[in-house]
């Protein structure tokens, strides 16, 4: 039994470091060399993961860690220590709870911030909004409580060298699907010539989620860069000030073309200004806002 326990601990070490580096749990000295490893989850394992696309399943909350004044990491246990969640890149899951009027179910999508090959648990990064029915409900949970999840639901196929340059515009927790895409592509040596650029907009410097991890990735991978935009910057701020503008898009993101894509995810006002929102979860709709004005067409833009 002692030998079995030792082997299990050794196997878990790499995943533990990955989660620490990814979830921003305050240990900045941990290296992100794990980014160079390949996923060990096969397509068959992902298909038989703990999630199910046609039914909701219960998962127990095991840990809550505060990331900022209004955002926390919520860790949920999988049924068995060796289980994987079953995500593909890029995909999301949905959560439901009977918290609406007359106890009607409220359903919301989330993108986990753990790697797709993480075993035994998954992490959500959730920002609590004053009017956010689901986010306030999740914030009220304590370890031991359970929540229902369903999925995964694929958003867009992501593959090495799918484009020459992927540009990303994220606001707040709209970072989570971008992080999923970035990590998947940086894991693969075949994508080493593929450029990835993230424009990340927030209100204040304290609102920049997982900043240490983003900066580490940019430092260690020359094909990935991140540019920050703050609505209310500090006095000595080195990034951009205000909102994402046409000048910022022109300066940092790829120009319109057949071999690029701009991915957008953020709060509704930001989506409206940048790209227009989706028509429905399955329909992208036409490109609007700044991206339309700058000449980007529907086949160049993806809205999460």
pLDDT, greater one: 70 or 46 = 70
Lowest model confidence (mean pLDDT) among 16-20, 107-111, 175-179, 294-298? 16-20
The CATH classification of domain 165-303, taken from the options 3.20.20.190, 3.40.50.80, 3.40.91.50, 3.40.50.10470: 3.40.50.80
Work out the pLDDT band at 46, boundaries 50, 70, 90: low
pLDDT for 45 equals 53
Token pair listed for 285:
């709709």
Does the structure show a pLDDT above 90 at 42? no
Work out the pLDDT band at 47, boundaries 50, 70, 90: low
pLDDT tens sequence across 206-251: 999 999 999 999 999 999 999 999 999 999 999 999 999 999 999 9
pLDDT tens sequence across 176-192: 999 999 998 998 888 88
Q: How far apart are CA 168 and CA 181, in angstroms?
A: 10
Residue-range domain boundaries for the chain: 40-154, 165-303
pLDDT for 33 equals 36
Report the topology of domain 40-154: Elongation Factor Tu (Ef-tu); domain 3 (2.40.30)
User: Which range is most confident: 10-14, 24-28, 40-44, 231-235?
Assistant: 231-235
pLDDT for 37 equals 45
Contacts of 258 (CB under 8 A, 6+ apart): none
Does the structure show a pLDDT above 90 at 14? no
Contacts of 209 (CB under 8 A, 6+ apart): 24, 67, 68, 71, 125, 127, 172, 173, 175, 202
């Amino acid at each position: 039994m002692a030998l079995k326990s030792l082997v299990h601990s050794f196997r878990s070490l790499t995943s533990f470091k990955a989660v620490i580096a990814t979830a921003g749990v305050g240990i900045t000295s941990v290296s992100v060399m794990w980014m160079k490893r390949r996923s060990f989850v096969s397509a068959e394992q992902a298909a038989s993961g703990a999630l199910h696309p046609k039914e909701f399943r219960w998962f127990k909350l095991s840990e809550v860690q505060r990331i900022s004044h209004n955002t926390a990491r919520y860790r949920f246990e999988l049924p068995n220590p060796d289980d994987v969640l079953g995500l593909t890149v890029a995909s999301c899951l949905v959560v439901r709870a009977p918290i609406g009027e007359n106890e009607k179910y409220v359903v919301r999508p989330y993108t986990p911030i753990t790697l797709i090959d993480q075993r035994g648990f998954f992490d959500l990064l959730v920002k609590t909004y004053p009017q956010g029915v689901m986010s306030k409900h999740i914030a009220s949970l304590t370890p031991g409580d359970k929540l229902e999840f369903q999925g995964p639901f694929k958003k867009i196929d992501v593959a090495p060298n799918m484009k020459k340059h992927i540009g990303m515009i994220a606001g707040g927790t709209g970072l989570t699907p971008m992080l999923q895409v970035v990590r998947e592509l940086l894991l693969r040596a075949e994508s080493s010539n593929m450029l990835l650029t993230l424009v990340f907009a927030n209100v204040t410097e304290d609102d920049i989620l997982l900043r240490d991890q983003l900066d580490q990735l940019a430092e260690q991978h020359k094909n990935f860069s991140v540019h920050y935009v703050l609505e209310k910057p500090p006095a000595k701020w080195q990034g951009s000030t205000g909102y994402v503008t046409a000048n910022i898009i022109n300066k940092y993101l790829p120009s319109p073309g057949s071999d690029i894509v701009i991915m957008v995810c953020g709060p509704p006002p930001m989506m409206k200004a940048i790209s227009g929102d989706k028509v429905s979860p399955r329909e992208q709709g036409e490109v609007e806002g700044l991206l339309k004005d700058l000449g980007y067409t529907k086949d160049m833009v993806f809205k999460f």
